[in-house]
Structure 1
């Protein structure tokens, strides 16, 4: 009996025992297995042990995603945790290779787009090239509260293509597109370049998020706690361990605002936070100080 003769449920069960690379390699053998690989039901859980895995095409982001974890345990995490103004040129070059990987990936999780081209993502009305026709209403598809109404003159054919892209579901969405509104658990460990803005946007998009675990995320501050109180409607557990820029005052305010939230902040409030950059002395300032003495 050939593997392709199995029904879809059996194939999904077999795929579930494989890691991401093995699933991708098996999917390359025939279109039927590729179709199983692209089934969102196969991808409710995603775990990444290094940042380079985020750049691969061996997984699928879809509304079926429930749990996501990115845990990077490397010596380079210590370099990422250094304040930017204290880094040497060599350290900055190390960070430049990966500093945007996690943030870009999380923005893909937040992305509510499928196959709509980027140049159409902020349009709320579209009209064909024939100006005698009235503008045709399209859904408001701005990302976060579109403040202005935009118009785009498109050929009649282009309008229908855009309309089809907006209303046709696309299952073949790999790691470059797709939003995961049903995400319930997110774990980030050693992600030193993740910012409050990125986490705030994720909290606004994933309204079913119940568990958020952050460990050794140097750029996470009290603003993430404020975003959790404002937008974490379903949030039940929040860990901010070894996040040095989270203060005791911010934790107290969050506990007061969300008394039912299971909050843990191991060593976060006791660590030394980032310091403001020290400007170098102006030319001649040291000489003047010496003369005044």
Structure 2
């Protein structure tokens, strides 16, 4: 049956014969779905990231000219795209990335970097950095002292009665928002409590403020997508990228705005919008592994 024969935006009953004496009844409603999809398809960079690259290129060119003592300004394709790539490893990865970024800053090379990527423990450092919209223009010694303070601090406060009540309240709210809840979400809240004195409501899309004029490198958070209980990570794995602008799989060329991550989609359309998750839930769950 052609859907074009059904009235648009009105419910219609349709009967299909299964056998001589049996029929299958449908109640259908046809909607016009013309217009742009809510999922961006393609392997090119999104418009927001291209705009960032244009702004960041000016910062990188000026920094390289100063460091290399060039007579002429770098322009166009002569300006390289440099990325700092950090690995996982819990607190060790977190402290290691802080130290490396501080070293680059002391060498006047931090402004030469266009991207910072990380996974697992290194994302703990990255998310703390991007809470400050001008972090790379400030002395990172303060960041290192802050990280050292929380790393060496007693962790018992993360398991106090007040903290447990707070976790329960946060998880209940997450369920009410329509998100699925697992032990990873509880672990995310515990990690967040270890590195913050107060409740942190920061979200991934909030980090756009820290790259709005190209003042900092663009953060790319990496997660490993695997097939649970069917294939090992050696047999099947694929990378998923999280940025302040988009979340998606470069392998398939499918991306959604970061504020829509966790919402429900069908055939490229946003079917059910859910509130954006706090960044702590991404740190403890999605930045580590995404399950089908």
Task: Establish whether TM, by shorter chain, passes 0.5.
Answer: no
Larger helix fraction of residues: 2
Highest relative contact order (Cα 8 Å, sep 6+), 1 or 2?
2
Larger strand fraction of residues: 2
How does the TM-score come out when normalised to structure 2? 0.26
How does the TM-score come out when normalised to structure 1? 0.26
